[in-house]
Amino acid sequence: MRINFRYSFFVFLLSVLIHPVSGKLNDTVAFTLSLKNVVDLAILQSASVKYAQNTNVNYYWRWKNFQSSFRPQLTLTGEVPNFTQQNIPVVQPDGSIEFRKVSQLQGSSQLALSQSIPGTGTSVYAATNLYRVQDFIKNSVEYSGSPFQIGLTQPIFAYNNMKWQKKTEPLIYEESQKQFVESTERIALQATIYFFRYLMIQTNYNLAENNLKNSNNNLKIAEVRRQLGKISENDFARIQLSVFNAQKAMNKASMDLKNADFELKSYINLDQHQKIELVIPVEMYLFEVDPDKALEEAKENRKETPYFERRLIEAERDLRRAKRTSGLSATVVGSFGLSNSADTYGGVYDQPEKQRVISLNMSIPVLDWGRSASSIKLAESRRELVVYDVEKEIKDFEREVVVQVEQFGLFRDQITTAQEADKVAENGYLIALNKFQSGEISITDLNISLSERESAKRDYITAIESYWQSFYRLRILTLYDFEGNHKIMYDNPMLDQQ
């Protein structure tokens, strides 16, 4: 299933427009943002997603360039004009040198069709060319050319780079496609981290605001009791101190909230002047994940599978190159064609003569002081190391997937416990507040209840954060959506514009 960015953005705009709330700091409207809203915005317009898309485009054109290199290439070359007027030294029959004036206009052109054959490393071509010389001193024009010519270059016992490219480049392109999906999912995870960082600070701000309000009310009640002589000076001073502490906590929470606000908006590329308020993502589908299914999807969807395969191929390639470049190598070059020269353009094509060329170039190492043997042994050793590393990394990768599935199940179970603890702590604080205001308990007991309430609230937010981070990490490791039961895929809008 592919994600349509325009549709996601439309859904996001609709969701924020129908859920506005009044801003706390002024009369402007603050948009409520859910976790999904923040993730969608990050995937749609963040700087990170633009970088991932550009990287993916780069690999796309690398792949296209590779494909085109094995297709027939038609090339037209020429030199028009090439005018020469100078005095040149000419050796005479008796060995003396005389300077002769030369004034010529030359021109040439060639049309060639070439093709590479990766399996054998062969390069073949077919060409036609024409050469024209006009001599202004002799007042003559001559033509020379080859109406038709074919040829080939065939390496023997040589390293065939084209053959190995045919094996590695498709894997590199496959890696890039899977890397793009993984990078996008990592952006979703980072957006989740920023979301909960903001949410925790927002929660601290709300708690500090509520505590300051209750502390001021408690101080007013304590002042009345003080006038009636029902409270000691020590307890009254401690209540005053609680107001000061609540004010300091409020100031710190306000500053932290501004920093978190800037950080989140910068990452998802949202207007810094837009007021936002995050909502706790408590509505979640708590599902179970089959470890075998997760491992199967991870092997199929992640870039590690083609990456491991490519590393093994490259290690074998390097060994083959070491062997081929250290022994006998030869290259056969051959061509056959027709050529002619004439005073007129048409004469070049009138009964041209045959021309044949064949050559064999060889390179045989005679004495290299063991260099060839050591190069082969080095390549063999490196290949063994790569095989060992790949086997170890495969096991580590599989273990990472299984551990992440186990952690996901644990975080899922923790949410229910943390939610119940939060409810109990909230009710306990409200009861303690009423008892304190009615004079049944001391400020110490109220502060204990307040501390338990704040701790339970933060633990609940942390449990939800751990669940969602584990949720997105599992998606990254498998590139599979277990909630919707489909593979994760994204379209690159930059490729649509190419």
Instruction: Identify the weakest region by mean pLDDT among 15-24, 309-318, 336-345.
Output: 15-24
CB 12 within 8 A of CB 41: yes
Q: Which residue has the tokens 């890696």?
A: 175
Q: What is the mean pLDDT of the chain?
A: 86
For residues 436-442, give the mean pLDDT. Answer: 80
- Residue 449 neighbours by CB distance under 10 Å: 20
- The share of the chain scoring above pLDDT 90, in percent, equals 40
Q: At residue 3, does pLDDT exceed 70?
A: no
- For residue 184, give the 3-state DSSP assignment: helix
pLDDT of residue 325: 82
Q: Which residue has the tokens 């170890």?
A: 392
pLDDT of residue 29: 65
Q: Which residue has the tokens 């353009």?
A: 345
The pair phi, psi for residue 158, each rounded to 5°, is -115, 160
pLDDT of residue 196: 94
Lookup: tokens for 83: 């005018």
The pair phi, psi for residue 3, each rounded to 5°, is -90, 125
In the structure, what pLDDT confidence band is assigned to residue 25 with cuts at 50, 70 and 90?
very low
Residues in the chain: 498
Distance CA 345, CA 109 (A): 13
- Residue 302 neighbours by CB distance under 10 Å: 22
pLDDT of residue 176: 95
Residue type, 404: Q
248-298 per-position pLDDT tens digit: 999 999 999 999 999 999 999 999 898 999 998 877 777 788 899 999 999
pLDDT of residue 381: 93
- For residue 463, give the 3-state DSSP assignment: helix
Residue 275: which H helix or E strand, with range? strand 275-278
pTM of the model: 0.80
Q: Is the dihedral of CA 289, 293, 296, 300 positive or negative?
A: negative
Lookup: tokens for 164: 């190995």
33-47 per-position pLDDT tens digit: 999 999 999 999 999
In the structure, what pLDDT confidence band is assigned to residue 21 with cuts at 50, 70 and 90?
very low
Distance CA 347, CA 448 (A): 109
Enter the DSSP assignment of 488: -
Instruction: Identify the weakest region by mean pLDDT among 60-64, 302-306, 359-363, 473-477.
Output: 359-363
Q: Which residue has the tokens 């920023």?
A: 194
Q: At residue 27, does pLDDT exceed 60?
A: no
pLDDT of residue 392: 95
- For residue 492, give the 3-state DSSP assignment: coil
**Alpha helices per DSSP H over 269-370:** 291-301, 304-325
Can you spell out the DSSP letters for 465-484? HHHHHHHHHHHHHH-EETTT
In CATH, the number for domain 2-65+166-310+386-496 is: 1.20.1600.10
In the structure, what pLDDT confidence band is assigned to residue 223 with cuts at 50, 70 and 90?
confident
- Nearest in space to 396 (alpha carbons), one of 295, 318, 284: 295
> Virtual CA dihedral for 334, 335, 336, 339, nearest 10 degrees?
-140
In the structure, what pLDDT confidence band is assigned to residue 444 with cuts at 50, 70 and 90?
confident
Domain with CATH 1.20.1600.10 in the chain: 2-65+166-310+386-496
- Nearest in space to 190 (alpha carbons), one of 12, 42, 401, 3: 42
